[in-house]
Amino acid sequence: MLKIWRGSERDAGRWEHYEVPFEPGQSVLDGLRWLRINKDPSLAMRFSCINANACKECMMQVDGETVYACTARLEPREMTLTPLPNKKLVRDLVTEVAPPSERFAIK
Amino acid sequence: MTAEPMSAEPMSAEPMSAEPMSVATDVLVVGSGAAGMYAAIEAARGGAHVLLADRSLIGRGGATIMAQMTVAAALGEETPDDWQHHYADTIAAGRGLCDEQLARLLCQQGPECIRELDQWGVGWARKNGHITATMAPGHDRPRCVYVDFINTGPAVSKTLRTVMARNQTIRKAGDLCIVDLVAGDGEITGAVAYHLGTGAPVTIAAKATILATGGLTRLYRRNSASTNMGGDGYALALRAGASLIDMEFVQFFPIGHLAPRLIGMDPIMWDPFRYKLGGQLLNGRMEEFTSRYGSDEDGKYVLTRDLATYAIFKEVEAGRGSPHGGAYLSFEHCTPASLREAFGPVIDRLAANGIDLTRMPVEVAPIAHYHMGGVKADASMSTEVPGLYVAGEVVGGANGANRLSGNAITEALVFGRRAGRGAAERAKRMALPRLRAQDARAAIDLVCATGDARKSFNTAAAVAQLQSVMTDDVGPFRTATGLQRAFAEIRMLASGLGERPPGHGASFDLERLEWFDLRNMLAVARAVVESALNRAESRGAHQREDFPKMLPQWQVHQSVRWRDGELRVSGAPAAAAAAALAS
């Protein structure tokens, strides 16, 4: 069971609960990818290398602890997923993690 | 050189405004792997202002960061070597289909780029003061340099990012997804993008544009690269009027990790350890089997990728696969000390995944790894469309029907540098970028289009479905029946996709991004399938079960072009010298 924070403003978010299948050895990212394909493609999250822990894009908090979703293990219990608290929120689990010099200055 | 300066500080966004934000630059580079970053650095060195755009974070996605080791270059520091030996091996691996000019450029200029990275502090492994090189399958001598056994790609990436950071004329733009190139009067004048973080459209006027978006491994369910490698560059070039060549040649990496579930490690991680320790490839009955397919390993790692892939597939087909449908890779014959020496801290990461190599084999199976095909370019990395350049894996032809191990990072560096130089030279000849608003209109309309997500069409599920189609019927072993089935499925997916993206331009809308991805992926999948269906022979990475022999009359490059809403495939004979060298 994943309890996921959704929204695009910190003080106007909501919690959503999703049942995802559990297989020993899987990562939290495996669960999130399953969820998007099978339940809700509207969930926003960042990931690129999927499994290798090379891109470092999938940072988020699981049960209040900052982790990479690709290396955090999925567990057969309720896990609470939230965006990084110290970065600017973009939407759902996505925050602005790029250094300012590597962002596009949108206006 | 003139280019409008761009604002550096992030500002608040107003998505979907009537007039899109527009920026101008001398050189637009799309993609920030090694090819894109080297192109940006070289273009800046040539006096150009550069905008480096990436759909995800700068220098983090793509294939470079996933490359664990071996960069092939005839440095000859330890063992005498010459670029011509590297060239001969590249041509032989390419099974008669290498573009000689491109292969020559790769082999000739590889050492220069390797040495430049060395000066930039990448930290190539050294022995006795010399950059050390290891032996890899298909090479006639030790030729593959590395940083360490699992960190070569990340080190290359980090080094190039650091060099870029020192350069004031390179602007970096992460989360900027290029939707279409803009053409006017027969040349590329820039691109239309949208900013993923805000959903806002952006017009980019550029005197020259370089595509460095990598390959198409995301078309397959099991693959060894990042999720942003869905063939964007091929699709952008195709729609802009350029030709793609050799699209049927998708390289599978034979020993991608299959089971048990292993997280935090790249699935191609076993390769470095095969270089070091050999390792035994065994079938489901724990028998050695590669000798049945014409290559006896004898404890060493000499089997080329296409042969190993073939051998594993055939064992599985004959009912002799491992439980998850692959082969076993065993290091059980190695002592714990030699494993620890070779694997270092990786042993602990394996232990955390419940894997003890002294007691158990792992299961491996072929995994989509690299694309030999790509955009047609000459040795200056110019495409057939003026103003459009390509670099790295986007370039088609250098590796023919099968890429030699170690050539991918080398081509990223060499082709990236060459494209950057060419683009800067073009920019120097032009006073101002020539993008006209009316030429960008159609792409902007597409980016600004809004629509409700259709409940019947889940974009994430559609990507997964395409991956299944490609894996099941357009893998390394193909038949006319399977390819036709894939063709029909791709058409169905394309009709489900519709003409307009879902969503309303919200921030980080992955469904909308996936819609644009699918638009590209489906076009590229069609190019692969149609080329594969035409090629009635087996050669390198393209094996037709219904045409098992390599045929001299198929010493042909097939090109794919987009004309009047249809793909057109045509063929032209490959150059004679490559044919002779490979025979």
Chain segment B298-354, per-residue pLDDT in tens = 555 557 777 888 899 999 999 999 999 999 999 998 888 988 888 888 888 888 888
| Three-state DSSP state, B347 | helix
Longest dimension (CA), chain B: 69
**Per-residue pLDDT averaged across B398-421, rounded?**
96
Domain at A2-102: CATH architecture: Roll (3.10)
The alpha carbon of residue A92 is apart from the nearest alpha carbon of chain B, in Å, by 9
Residue contact A46–B173, C-beta within 8 A: no
Residues B246 and B394 sit within 8 Å (Cβ to Cβ): no
Residue B572 has pLDDT above 50, yes or no: yes
Give the pLDDT confidence of A71-100 residue by residue, as tens digits. Answer: 999 999 999 999 999 999 999 999 999 999
CA distance B378 to chain A (A): 31
Answer yes or no: are the C-beta atoms of B104 and B85 closer than 8 Å.
no
Q: Across residues B279-290, what is the average pLDDT?
A: 90
The reply to whether B470 falls in a domain is yes
Tell me the per-residue pLDDT of B16-36, one tens digit each, with 9 for 90 and over. 445 789 999 999 999 999 999
For B212-226, B235-249, B336-350, B522-536, which range has the lowest pLDDT when averaged over its residues? B336-350
Instruction: Look at residues B366, B392, B417 and tell me which one is the last residue of a structural domain.
Output: B366
Residues of A in contact with B172 (CB under 8 A): 101-103
**Residue B418 annotated in active site:** no
CA distance B528 to B321: 28
In this complex, which of B10, B13, B261 lies closest to A25 when CB atoms are compared?
A: B261
Cβ-Cβ contacts under 8 Å between A and B: the total is: 157
Residues B456 and B361 in one domain: no
The answer to whether the CB atoms of A48 and B198 lie below 8 A apart is: no
When pLDDT is cut at 50, 70 and 90, the band that residue B12 belongs to is very low
Mean pLDDT of B148-175: 92
| Best mean pLDDT range from A68-82, B3-17, B64-78, B448-462 | A68-82
Domain termination residue (choose one: B313, B344, B366): B366
**What average pLDDT does range B413-419 have in this prediction?**
98
Q: Which residues of A75-90 are buried (b: 16+ CB within 10 A; e: fewer)?
A: eeeebebbbbeeeebb
Note whether residue B146 is domain-resident: no
CA distances from B388 to A22, B30, B168, B381 (A): 47, 11, 24, 9
- pLDDT value at B7 more than 90: no
Candidates A33, A50, A98; nearest CB to B57: A98
Question: Could you give the dihedral angle defined by the CA atoms of residues B466, B467, B470 and B473, in that order, rounded to the nearest 10 degrees?
Answer: -100
Indicate yes or no: CB of B61 within 8 angstroms of CB of A48: yes
Q: What percent of chain B has pLDDT over 90?
A: 72
Total tally of structural domains belonging to chain B: 2
For residue B10, count other CB atoms closer than 10 A to its CB: 16
Does the pLDDT value for residue B128 go beyond 50?
Answer: yes
Contacts of B2 (CB under 8 A, 6+ apart): B431, B432
DSSP at A90: E
CA B307 to chain centre: 21
Q: Is the N-terminal amide bond of B260 cis, ω within 30° of 0?
A: yes
Domain-located, residue B11: no
CA distance linking residue A88 with residue A30, whole number of Å? 25
Tell me whether residue B421 is in a domain: no
Q: Which residues of B88-111 are buried (b: 16+ CB within 10 A; e: fewer)?
A: bbbbbbbbbbbbbebbbbbbbbbb
Q: Which amino acid is at B52?
A: L
For A:18-77, CB contacts with B below 8 A are 23-27, 30, 33, 36-38, 41-57, 68, 70-71, 73
Give A-chain residues touching B174 at CB under 8 angstroms: 98, 102-104
List the structure tokens of B490: 């791709």
Backbone angles phi, psi at B328, to 5 degrees: -90, 140
Residue at B516 is within a domain = yes
pLDDT higher than 70, residue B453: no
Q: Give the span between the Cα atoms of B94 and A80, in whole angstroms.
A: 50
At B72-89, the pLDDT tens digits run: 999 999 999 999 999 999
| For range B372-391, the mean pLDDT | 97
Q: Domain spans of chain A?
A: 2-102
Supply the mean pLDDT for chain B.
90
Instruction: State both tokens at A15.
Output: 């919690």
Q: Looking at per-residue confidence, does B245 or B267 come out higher? A: B245
Residue B5 distance to chain A (closest CA, Å): 12
Element (H, E) at B310: helix B305-317
Residue B193 CA to residue B210 CA, distance in Å, equals 15
pLDDT at residue number B302:
59
Name the band, by pLDDT with cuts 50, 70 and 90, for residue B6.
very low
Note whether residue B150 is domain-resident: no
User: Which positions in chain B touch A90 (Cβ < 8 Å)?
Assistant: 197, 507-508
Under the banding of pLDDT at 50, 70 and 90, the label for residue B13 is: very low
| A78 and chain B in contact, CB less than 8 A | no
Which among B10, B265, B514 has the least Cβ separation from residue A105? B10
pLDDT tens for B475-533 read 999 999 999 999 999 999 999 998 899 888 889 999 999 999 999 999 999 999 999 99
Domain of B341, in residue numbers: 253-366
Q: Which chain B residue shows the shortest CA-CA distance from A29?
A: B263
Per-residue tokens: B467: 């991956």
CB–CB of B57 and A107 under 8 A?
Answer: no
> Does B296 fall in a domain?
yes
Residues in CB range of B408: below 8 A, 6 or more apart? B63, B67, B370, B393
Above 60 in pLDDT, residue B42? yes
Taking CB atoms and an 8 Å limit, are B57 and A96 in contact across chains? no
Shortest alpha-carbon distance between residue A1 and chain B (Å)? 20
Residue tagged active-site, from B143, B218, B305, B417: B305
Distance from C-alpha of B59 to C-alpha of B160, rounded to nearest angstrom:
8
Q: Which residues contact B254 (CB under 8 A, 6 or more apart)?
A: B303, B305, B308, B309, B311, B312, B364, B366
CB contact under 8 A, B460 and A37: yes
Q: How far apart, in Å, are the Cα atoms of B351 and each of A75, B206, B357?
A: 18, 51, 9
- pLDDT, average across residues B228-234: 95
Q: What per-residue confidence (pLDDT) applies to B87? A: 97
B223 versus B533: the higher-pLDDT residue is B533
Residue B11 confidence (pLDDT):
37
> Quick one: how far is CA A94 from the chain centroid?
7
| B348 HSE (CA, 13 A, CB side) | 2
| Inter-chain CB proximity B7 and A25 less than 8 Å | no
Whole-number pLDDT of residue B576: 58
- Whats the size of chain B, residue-wise? 583
What confidence score (pLDDT) does residue A64 get?
97
Distance in Å, alpha carbon of A49 to nearest chain B alpha carbon: 4
The answer to whether residue A12 neighbours chain B at the CB level (below 8 Å) is no
Closest residue of A to B512, CA-based? A42
pLDDT in tens, B521-571: 999 999 999 999 999 999 999 999 999 999 999 999 999 999 988 899 999
**DSSP structural state of residue B405:** T
Last residue of a domain, one of B366, B401, B435: B366
CB B414 within 8 A of CB B110: yes
Span A50-74, mean pLDDT?
91
Q: Examine the pLDDT at B364 and tell me if it is beyond 90.
A: yes
Q: Which residue shows structure tokens 């057109």? A: B568
User: Do B354 and B453 share a structural domain?
Assistant: no
CATH number of residue B281's parent domain: 3.90.700.10
Domain-embedded: residue B325? yes
H-assigned helices in A1-107? 28-38
Please, are residues B463 and B511 in contact by the beta-carbon 8 Å criterion?
Answer: no
- Residues of chain B in contact with residue A106, where contact means CB-CB under 8 angstroms, are 10-11, 13, 21, 195, 197-198, 200, 202
Distance CA B271, CA B289 (A): 18
CATH number for the domain that contains residue B542: 1.20.58.100
Please choose, from the candidates B64, B471, B97, the residue with its C-alpha nearest in 3D space to the C-alpha of residue B252: B471
For residue B266, give the nearest of A52, A71, A97 by CB distance.
A52
Contact call for B197 and A106, based on CB within 8 A: yes
